[in-house]
Structure 1
């Protein structure tokens, strides 16, 4: 249970996470469709989808530096500025290479915002409430991944791409107002995150390497699934693709109930194995049931 004095700022933080996360996720399955409409070859769409994830990954050390030198809120504002610039570029320019460049900027924004938001949760909540708070925070992030993608595909029906960009920009502006309100409401509530002294070990012996690689592979699997659905939408039409993500949100809620039970009985690696097995079944089902094969999204 979140302390009463922290309930308002933490609620604002969750709403901020939903708003800025949705502004990102509405573009994840839709920009490949948009690039295809601009004439980008299908073989190049995989690169345009992967470049945003690579930029987000490489910008995380920069995000950590910004948080240490400035603050989490300032880093979120900088990342939101990247988002706002990206939506302006999407709206004003129709050149595929400019749009792909904007995807790189958007990836940098993702790295800044996601790292700073996670850090802000740890700074805001006391240790005894951190587990419950992080559960709500991760649920909000996961919800944007399904609902945002569904909303994005619905927004571009009929080729209404400017509508998508206006909505995304509006969500970023709402996020900026929420950041200001959050900054005023958390004064005196933040505590410094104390880091343990780092012991240098060879990269290949780092204990975090194995779990990080597992998470990375699962993220790549999820990204390839979203890319696949984008390409399927290009070939078959997008009228029903958005509903897939709505069904995914229902599955997300059900999986939370499942995980709350299984996490007490199984190890983390067994849960990862179950997750990977479910992804494999999804990919196999998509491969045998559609005319667009999964390796198209990995090209």
Structure 2
């Protein structure tokens, strides 16, 4: 009976942190897909400035994660989550008064800071309350909330933008933020206990040490995540333009819906498989599928092929993402889970933010089909990196003392 209690996953706190994460992410994703249009229509911004208005959000998230990962041991994961949500709500309210593009860009950075802090807190809480024996399954369920928002958020955002007004976007976003705050209030997070042998003197904390900002145990899988997320950013940023180029606009509008459905169906199984058989049993097939899906995308000339690529990429990248986060947690001591989460998300954000910037220079020379063919090779590089950084030594890494 004691084992059953220890391995219980679906607690009230687990459900609350999933709902908190979902509503927070919803307030973010409905703006990401609409802010470039808003900047162009409201401020008359150039295409490059409008693109910056959408992606500069990630800059704020990256810098805030560096601070949050370091400070979470001292502040606590629940307080970190609440501070982040409140900061996000205040930032969203500033959209209503942003009257020029530069003030608007500042607000986007501030919103990114709030989201970076809150998601670090939420990710650390979920890592604390998930049993280690069910980390793959737990992270799979937890991150499904984020996956749903990548499908639902853009649909809501585009609908409001086209049928209501830009103002309604900010109203919906701030309501979602307030809902997440109230959902998070009853959430209970375990206290972060630092072993006496691991305590760092105050003087040492004030000096710059890389270990104060990044978790070494999570770095290998975080680096693989950076490579693979660079490839995925090509889909996130250019699938709409690509579908227009190949005259598949209607099919392209369903891309992320099909992508999300395949993840929702597969993740409960892949998470359990990781817990029982190890990450390699999921990650190798996932990255191979992602490479196949990216290649099919580069060759898409029909709606069937485009949506088939969406489903395969959901099975591939969608499952890799949750397994990578679960590994970052599984390989890290309990008292450094905050740093492990922030390390993983920093590298993920860098990949998602760096990719579109670089690809903007590549597309004019190779086109979107050529880009996706190149990104097929990037996924293969990620597969090779995974093998050497983790896959070939999984047994030793998972059974070493922490």
Given the two structures, how large is their TM-score scaled by the length of structure 2? 0.59
| Gap change, CA 1:298 and 1:207, over 3 Å in 2 | farther
- Number of the residue aligned with 1:143: 148
Query: Which ranges in structure 2 are unaligned for 5 or more consecutive residues?
Result: 200-208, 306-355, 362-402
Partners of 1:249 and 1:241 in 2: CA distance: 14
| Alignment pair present for 1:174 and 2:179 | yes
Matches of 2:300 and 2:243, distance apart in 1: 17
Q: Which residue of 2 aligns with 1:81?
A: 86
Tell me the SS of whatever aligns to 2:287.
helix
Q: Higher mean Cα deviation, 222-231 or 145-154?
A: 222-231
In structure 1, the residue matched to 2:28 is: 24
Q: 1:220 is matched with which residue: 230, 236, 242?
A: 230
Change (3 A) 1:207 1:273: farther
Deviation at 1:141, TM superposition (A): 2.0
Query: How far, CA to CA, are the matches of 2:131 and 2:270 in structure 1?
Result: 24
Deviation at 1:266, TM superposition (A): 3.8
Cα distance change, pair 106–240 in 1 and its aligned pair in 2 (3 A): farther
Q: Deviations over 1:199-223 (max 9, x none)?
A: x999xxx675453233123333434
Alpha-carbon deviation of 1:191?
4.9
- Rounded to whole Å, the distance in 2 between the matches of 1:19 and 1:147 is 11
- In structure 2, the residue matched to 1:63 is 68
Report if the CA contact (8 A) 1:30-1:230 is conserved: no
Tell me the distance in 2 between the aligned counterparts of 1:234 and 1:162: 28
Aligned to 1:298: 360
Instruction: Map Cα deviations across residues 188-240 of structure 1 (whole Å, 9 max, x no partner).
Output: x6253668969x999xxx6754532331233334344333356689999x998
RMSD: 3.9
Instruction: After TM superposition, list the pairs within 5 Å mapping 1:127-206 onto structure 2.
Output: 127-158=132-163, 160-182=165-187, 186=188, 190-192=190-192
Query: Are the counterparts in 1 of residues 141 and 267 from structure 2 also a CA contact under 8 Å?
Result: no
Most deviating of 83-92 and 11-20: 83-92
The reply on whether 1:252 has 2:263 as its aligned counterpart is yes
Q: Distance in 1 between matches of 2:220 and 2:286?
A: 15
TM normalised by structure 1 equals 0.77
Matches of 1:47 and 1:124 in 2, distance apart? 37
Contact 1:29 1:152 in 2 (8 A): yes
1:136 to 1:5, Cα distance in 2 relative to 1, 3 A: closer
Q: Which moved more, 1:224-233 or 1:103-112?
A: 224-233
Shift of 1:167: 0.7
RCO comparison, higher one (Cα < 8 Å, 6+): 1
